[in-house]
Amino acid sequence: GRMAQDMTEKELLKMELDQLKKEVKNERQMVSKTGKELKEYIESMAGEDPLLKGVPEDKNPFKEKGGCTIS
């Protein structure tokens, strides 16, 4: 696609309208309900979350393979 700055106002408005047509089909729910469900899900998965419990050194694909020396 073309960059937004290269598009006419009419093209930009059509893009926005197309997006809104897609979004209006989304099923909506109360945040009071979904927020509670989201919190429960996050808490139930916390034991498996590498951001909370860390990654074992032997399973870390990004571990440094060696140091570097500056001479």
pLDDT tens per residue, range 21-39: 999 999 999 999 999 999 9
Class of CATH domain 4-59:
few secondary structures
| Spatial CB neighbours of 52, under 8 Å, sequence gap ≥ 6 | 46
- Those residues of the chain that have pLDDT short of 50 are none
**What are the sequence ranges of the domains in the chain?**
4-59
pTM summary value: 0.44
What phi and psi values does residue 44 have, to the nearest 5 degrees?
-70, -25
Q: How many helices (H) and strands (E) does the chain have?
A: 3, 0
